[in-house]
Chains A and B, each alone.
Chain A
Amino acid sequence: MTQTNRLSGGQIDRNTTLNFRFDNHSYTAHPGDTLASALLANDVRLIGRSFKYHRPRGLLTAGSEEPNGIVELRTGSRKEPNTRATTAEIFDGLEAHSQNRWPNLKFDALAVNDLFSNFLSAGFYYKTFMWPAAFWEKLYEPIIRRAAGLGSLSMEADPDEYDKGFRHCDLLIIGAGPAGLMAALTAGRAGADVILADEDFTPGGRLNSETYALGDHSAPAWAAQAVAELTSMPNVRLMTRTTVIGAFDHGIYGAVERTGDHLPTLPAGKPRQILWRIYSQKALLCAGATERPIAFENNDRPGIMMASALRTYANRFAVIAAPRVAVFTNNDDGHRTAVDLHAKGIKVAAVIDVRDDAPSSYDYEVLKGAQVVDTKGRHGLTFVEVAMPGGETRTLECGALGVSGGWNPNVHLTCHQRGRPIWNEALAAFVPGADLPVGLTVAGAANGVMSTYGALQSGAEGAAKALDLTSALPDLPDAEDAPVTQTPFWYVQGCKRAWLDQQNDVTVKDVKLSYQEGFRSVEHLKRYTTLGMATDQGKTSNIGGLAIMAEVAGKSIPETGTTIFRPPYTPVPIATFAGRMKGQEFHPTRLTPSHHWAKERGAVFVEVGNWLRAQWFPLPDETHWRQSVDREVRQTRASVGVCDCTTLGKIDVQGTDAAAFLNRIYANGFAKLAVGKTRYGLMLREDGIVMDDGTAARLADDHFVVTTTTANAVSVYRHMEFTRQCLFPDMDVQLISTTDVWAQYAVAGPNSRKLLQKIVDPEFDISNEAFPFMACGNITVCQGLRARLFRISFSGELAYEIAVPSRYGDALMRRLMDMGEEFDVVPYGTEALGVMRIEKGHAAGNELNGTTTALNLGMAKMVSKKKDGIGSTLSERAALNEPDALALVGIKPLEPEKKVTAGGHLMNIDGPVDTAHDQGYVTSAVYSPILNSSIGLGLMKNGHARMGERMRLVSPLTDLTIEVEIVSAHFVDPKGERLRA
């Protein structure tokens, strides 16, 4: 059985035959086919099962508005559920599966739901599964999820790539039908930068589906000629397979280009889809119109489709759904389908037109004033029953029925910024309103201009107006220009089940019931019945629901209102929004200058912001991270260790007001800092809470180097620019980041000076006398390389930080390791760094947590009252200065083997354990290999006055209760003798 339903003609390439599979059966197709047209060609009408009742469903449309023909495409990790067969371009080897059926499409066990449809009406779930509440998660939801729903996920990572891109244009034209093509020709010939985006793989819109002529050409030939001209223009970019999904602020549009969906395999490096952000000066919406159905009894059988779709399949794809067809319409366009099909030799059983004054035909019977009242055929249409005006019933044999209830302009994008469409009585349809997105205008059928000539004209005029063109409009070809009026006919009266929304199984009755039950707003109706939800977003059904709602409410449709259209216009895979930003590339990674060396040493890395930092350096015989970290700490404190601290933010501050500027930025004073000296600086937010800390080194009167914590480098720089530009605009101060310029290493431990003396050039004296604690200066190392040296310490040891140009950072680290061999030098990572700073009682990120003041951290005296430092005024607020304010303390377990846990709370030894009696909490905790005990830092009420007190440390989350002693935060070298050694 190969393509039994194929006709002659059409825009398919018969010279090439493609093979594809649907539900494990093999079929053939031709290039130019969609999966939908190829299935119809092979006489496959049953495509899926409906969402709720599992009713057999076929194709309703031939476009992106399709509610029924949704399938799973491809297999394995590339499986994509819920894809419209009507837009899936066929390729050789395509594998597709039907959805929502078990065990198979023809026999679906859950079709039994259909028999219980009386119980499954609107709001069924809400009413039925309300109690007991506990049953919802464990029982009801899993069952409903299995029964209802659409396709299934592969549960594997998508192996394909997706891109994002940016394009700019003078005029974005959305849709390449007659209006869009004519607009693009007009704008392109005038020299404007034009992007013409169309969701189809063959531009032309309806022109590809029609048989009438434009001038001397057939409609598709005229479209092809226009496309050829546009393609030849360097200033026009024609983007096919591209759906404009949303209209955003200031002329920005989102568009998805399906660059690879139609390819059997993606070429290496090529994306499946690209998410474009299009910046347009002006945009012209030429999105056309969507045909709307009429609801009647059993109107959802496979074979019943939109009349225009039947015509598209026949004219464009050379496919007919059945050898004998009928048409049910309320307007003249339905007759066009009958004319075209008849011309192709298809037997037209009848045109059933609800109008008494419907046009007649010599070629087929027209049943005027008649209505379809029922249909037959389990897996596909076989008969329709027609109620004649006189009251008698006629039964017509046909395998396909084209339905036309008129056309709705595709106004979606006009509503993306809360614009409301307005009701047009003549068309009985919504057309774009006045409050469009700025820069957007609408042309053609999307604007309610329903004739082909009208569309061409409105496209040309729309482009000319958008671009303020003064030249004459291009000549337009003669084209069909019949006046269009539409008299509404939404549904056939007296039906038990007439489907409005086939994707969500919503009937006319459901809408009426929902109104009866009090859901009077359209938005409520939508959520209660699910009308207009899911992948098609009600493109064929919303208007019918609204009309019925209006009818039962006794109001007009515009009085009843519309729901809001939101982006995206059609479904977009999440992968497309992610683009390349996934896995390791989710955010940029920053590497330190010693990274490659550390990797060679087998370092374990940790992410700190975007940075990767060495966390510890395991030796081959070490099996637990604690062994490595304890060793690094012991060896550093015993001799010397080196740590890459390049990640700390470095900001160059220069200018005659540099010192005055730092006086503003920091709570403590910097004006009197001598050249060649470094000072610790505490930065407050304006509300008095600590923002960051670091050091500032004075290299010259008018030159400082400020360091920030790694995490706050960006926000501190931003804050400094704010202070400079917005608060003190006349200060002579200039800022620039130098974080990446210098590779900076901490060299710490009693032998640090000895190690440095081996590489610092001899003309620089770094003895304790010549280069004391907190000294800084420009030096050279290794015989002439410029470097900076700072005598500062985070570990509490005699320590330095040395900086060289980053390109030499790798070499310097290797040199320090070589030269340090005699001292048993050890590289240490962020864990050892953390252990040592906690042993020393230095506050860090855990303590600077956005809630702490200088007072809390024991640095209240640093907040100068003699100058205008940011945050100093509000730091004096009474509530921040209560006598029992939190204070930084050290915490030691009474039994050393017990573990202090960060996040644990401190309670009085004999008081109640509850939040009302909370005394504070642990901010940082580590095992100290120096004290051979777990230790912690914490913030405790009135802590500095409670040294030696015993407390209970509790952490209900980890079931922890231990006794601890409150001690000084400075566990190691409290007097600071080592620093100054």
Chain B
Amino acid sequence: MIIDHPMLGPRDASEFTYLGDASLIDRPDWQADDAAEAFYEYGYLRDNPAGEHQELWYHEAGDRSWLVVTRNTLTHEISKVELARDVARARGRSK
């Protein structure tokens, strides 16, 4: 597989480490009333789509960027690669 790094261009997947669903960015608020339930869902429940899937890859042997890769789980086609930091900010994460 080849991942088209948004800053570095196409790089072999062997340079990357896979983590999982990009929903791991959406870490719940620890002070919310339902924090325990929210963390349980965050930690254990995943969708398993046959089709487009947003997932986290880490350019471990490269520039150490975390990436959100949109990959079709049926064809392995990668339609989008973004810096995870940008995605996290867009999803409202800050400090």
List the interface of chain A (C-beta within 8 A of B).
248-252, 277, 279, 438, 657, 660, 686-687, 714, 718, 721-722, 725-731, 868, 872-874, 876-877
A721 CA / B39 CA spacing, docked (Å) = 20
Question: Can you list 5 pairs linking A and B with CB atoms under 8 Å apart?
Answer: A686-B42, A687-B43, A722-B58, A727-B93, A873-B39
A872 CA / B40 CA spacing, docked (Å) = 12
**How distant is A656 from chain B, measured CB to nearest CB, in Å?**
11
CB-defined contacts of A729 to chain B, threshold 8 Å:
85, 88-89, 93-94
Establish whether residues A660 and B95, one from each chain, have CB atoms under 8 Å apart when the complex forms. yes
Establish whether residues A727 and B43, one from each chain, have CB atoms under 8 Å apart when the complex forms. no
Establish whether residues B93 and A438, one from each chain, have CB atoms under 8 Å apart when the complex forms. no
B67's closest neighbor in chain A, by CB?
A: A725
CB-defined contacts of B39 to chain A, threshold 8 Å:
686, 873-874
CB-defined contacts of A714 to chain B, threshold 8 Å:
60
Q: Which of B19, B56, B78, B95 has the most CB of A within 10 A?
A: B95
B24-67 at interface with A (beta carbon < 8 Å): 24-25, 27-28, 30-31, 35-36, 39-40, 42-43, 56, 58, 60, 64-66
Establish whether residues B30 and A725, one from each chain, have CB atoms under 8 Å apart when the complex forms. no
B24's closest neighbor in chain A, by CB?
A: A726
- Residue B8 lies at the interface, judged by CB distance under 8 Å to chain A: no
Q: Which of A248, A722, A877 has the most CB of B within 10 A?
A: A722
List the interface of chain B (C-beta within 8 A of A).
1-2, 10, 12, 17, 19, 24-25, 27-28, 30-31, 35-36, 39-40, 42-43, 56, 58, 60, 64-66, 76-78, 83-85, 87-89, 93-95
Establish whether residues B95 and A730, one from each chain, have CB atoms under 8 Å apart when the complex forms. yes
CB-defined contacts of B19 to chain A, threshold 8 Å:
722
Establish whether residues B2 and A730, one from each chain, have CB atoms under 8 Å apart when the complex forms. no
Establish whether residues A731 and B95, one from each chain, have CB atoms under 8 Å apart when the complex forms. yes
CB-defined contacts of B87 to chain A, threshold 8 Å:
726
A718's closest neighbor in chain B, by CB?
A: B58
A718 CA / B19 CA spacing, docked (Å) = 10
A687 CA / B39 CA spacing, docked (Å) = 8
CB-defined contacts of A249 to chain B, threshold 8 Å:
1-2, 76
Establish whether residues B66 and A725, one from each chain, have CB atoms under 8 Å apart when the complex forms. yes
Establish whether residues A722 and B88, one from each chain, have CB atoms under 8 Å apart when the complex forms. no
A731 CA / B88 CA spacing, docked (Å) = 12
Q: Enumerate the 6 nearest inter-chain pairs by beta-carbon distance, A residue then B residue, closest first.
A: A250-B2, A730-B94, A729-B88, A868-B30, A729-B85, A725-B85
CB-defined contacts of B27 to chain A, threshold 8 Å:
686, 727
B65's closest neighbor in chain A, by CB?
A: A725
Whether A874 contacts B40 in the complex (CB less than 8 A), given A250-B2, A728-B94, comes out as yes
CB-defined contacts of B88 to chain A, threshold 8 Å:
725-727, 729
Establish whether residues A721 and B77, one from each chain, have CB atoms under 8 Å apart when the complex forms. no
CB-defined contacts of A687 to chain B, threshold 8 Å:
43
Whether A873 contacts B60 in the complex (CB less than 8 A), given A725-B85, A728-B95, comes out as no
**How distant is A716 from chain B, measured CB to nearest CB, in Å?**
13
Whether A250 contacts B85 in the complex (CB less than 8 A), given A718-B58, A873-B30, A874-B40, comes out as no
Whether A873 contacts B25 in the complex (CB less than 8 A), given A657-B95, A725-B66, comes out as no
CB-defined contacts of A686 to chain B, threshold 8 Å:
27, 39, 42-43
A873's closest neighbor in chain B, by CB?
A: B39
Establish whether residues A726 and B84, one from each chain, have CB atoms under 8 Å apart when the complex forms. yes
A731 CA / B85 CA spacing, docked (Å) = 11
Establish whether residues B56 and A726, one from each chain, have CB atoms under 8 Å apart when the complex forms. yes
CB-defined contacts of B58 to chain A, threshold 8 Å:
718, 721-722
A726 CA / B83 CA spacing, docked (Å) = 9
Establish whether residues A725 and B84, one from each chain, have CB atoms under 8 Å apart when the complex forms. yes
Known A727-B27, A874-B36; further 8 A-B contacts with Cβ < 8 A: A250-B76, A277-B12, A686-B42, A687-B43, A722-B66, A725-B83, A873-B28, A877-B40
